Structure 1
């Protein structure tokens, strides 16, 4: 099984397969003694809807791969996939209903989805308010119209590799399932040895705008681009990142972004360059584009 398939394995089923039973269980959650440390009072919770876990004793959280990293004391993703599959060979990935950040099932949330070229004046104004070059925005994104709770909405839509869309407007940030990373490859003639890694597509569009403005100098035309569409998707990017000799990271200047960069450095060593660390007074690429400093 690949990373995406492994992450679809039900956590409760996996824990049961390796001999662990919950001390308390409901329709939405299950509680355990933390399986990788001494835990007298059950403080390890599995959220069944999101298929994620949280350790209240250590404030750690994650998916099945993050759990396996603690169980098997390894950060080798390929090895962890084999260990998970070997520990629970009879478990099959479940087809899960994707969950939005506010807990809503995404397939229940969006109806009558229509994707088209980006032309709505309100969305053009949204790009301008974020400092994004309009030509770049129209080239890289689409316009989506949809119904939610019987009301009609529209937003900027950025496609991901799974066939879903990250959607944004001034009032909403979400995803039309499935959730996935986005990989933008150059033509075969231009494809090179490096990639640029971004946390969200606004960071990616900001980078392209900065390059166009001459404020960032890209190393020739040899870089591919990978957009995580959430720092939590970092494990999905491991396989495509492996082939690159140079990995330029433009992740957010926050704890999650720094942890992601550190994890990549442990995996790929000096192939990873933290390109945004020198701009520590800015939270992300879009703030850098707009000169919006974290501190006055």
Structure 2
């Protein structure tokens, strides 16, 4: 790889390979926290069209090669050796195309598990309208194929983590359901944890008492839960409005007499999180209108 070739790789991809996620972005630009030093407000900007970076806090900028020389404190030749050992094309395809990897090999290591602090992850939760539900989540830092990543982690019953951020949807460890118990005689079932978090935001508005909660983490886990549902007096289903969700609802309702399909609440939306986003946006717009008056 030479300098010209390296400079054609999207700088966003380079930053992602180093574990940096944008705090905000648009079609033309992306903003990151300073990759060279700690800061609270993003001052590192990428012009996507030019593939050029500029660090406002220091008044410097350049192309990929300039960035990595500073980042690694290395020469041009050392940067190119580093780049040769990175499979950027496959990384780009895997992450920027939002590939859904559900059964990841064990070629990874969890480096750190902590409360969610990174601005990019907090912003992602805010975009999904569940930023107030972090008690159920962790910030997971992990390495895979000699690259470092981080994301929002939701633990399953086998000790694995469902990992989400804007660029990936994977599972670290064994795939399994997640159960949250409150010693209730009712249980609510969700396909993914963002739908569960969305419901928690709506629970009071819907005048629903807390119950036990079961998150499938994949509709493929539907057959694994049927035997555990018989003890409940009430089973409420909040699955997606798609073919897979329809199939899962049909399977559960055919075998569990007291199961109820509750998707009428969001029948015009793909899932519960999309419904929450719409509801929250309408409330925010109404508040803005009243304020202007």
1:165 and 1:103 map into 2 onto residues whose CA distance is 11
| Partner SS state of residue 256, structure 2 | helix
* Residue deviations 1:134-185 (CA, integer Å, cap 9, x gap): 231x200011001122221110000000010000001110100111000000
Which residues of structure 1 form unaligned runs of 5+?
Answer: 1-99
Do the aligned residues in 2 keep the contact of 1:106 with 1:175 (CA within 8 Å)?
Answer: no
- 1:256 offset after TM fit, Å? 0.7
| CA displacement, residues 92-126 of structure 1 (integer Å, 9 cap, x when unaligned) | xxxxxxxx954874312x22432112221211111
Deviation of 1:238 (Å): 1.5
- SS of 2:225's equivalent in the other structure is helix
Query: Residue 129 in 1 paired to residue 127 in 2?
Result: yes
Is residue 267 from structure 1 mapped to residue 255 from structure 2 by the alignment? yes
Partner of 2:218: 230
- 1:175 maps to 171
Q: How many residues end up aligned between the 2 structures?
A: 181
Structure 2 unaligned runs (5+)?
1-98, 280-293
1:92-241 → structure 2 map (5 Å cutoff): 101-102=100-101, 105-108=104-107, 110-132=108-130, 134-136=131-133, 138-186=134-182, 191-212=183-204, 214=205, 216-218=206-208, 220-221=209-210, 223-241=211-229
Report Cα offsets for 1:69-112 as digits up to 9, x if no partner.
Answer: xxxxxxxxxxxxxxxxxxxxxxxxxxxxxxx954874312x224
Query: What TM-score comes out, normalization by structure 1 length?
Result: 0.58
Counterparts of residues 78-93 of structure 1 (less than 5 Å)? none
Are the aligned partners of 2:101 and 2:169 in contact in 1 as well (CA < 8 Å)?
no
2:57 alignment partner in structure 1: none
Contact 2:229 2:256 in 1 (8 A): no
The answer to whether the 8 Å contact 2:154/2:162 transfers is yes
Structure 1 residue 279, shift from structure 2 partner: 2.1
Larger Rg: 2
Alpha-carbon deviations, 1:204-246, whole Å to 9, x = none?
Answer: 001111225x2x221x23x100000001111121122221111
Confirm or deny: 8 A CA contact 1:231 1:256 kept in the other structure.
yes
Q: How far 1:278 moved relative to its partner?
A: 4.3
8 Å contact kept, 1:158–1:166? yes
Specify the SS of the correspondent of 1:244: coil
Write the distance in 2 (CA, Å) between the matches of 1:116 and 1:232: 29
> Structure 1 residues 116 and 265, CA, compared in 2 at 3 Å: closer, same or farther?
same
Q: How many Å separate the matches in 2 of 1:102 and 1:117? A: 24
Q: Structure 2 vs 1, CA of residues 104 and 229 (structure 1 numbering), >3 Å: closer, same or farther?
A: closer
In structure 2, the partner of 1:291 is 278
Q: Distance in 1 between matches of 2:228 and 2:117?
A: 33
Distance 1:125 1:105 in 2: 26
The normalised TM-score by structure 2 is: 0.58
Residue equivalent to 1:277: 264
Map 1:20-99 onto structure 2 (within 5 A).
none
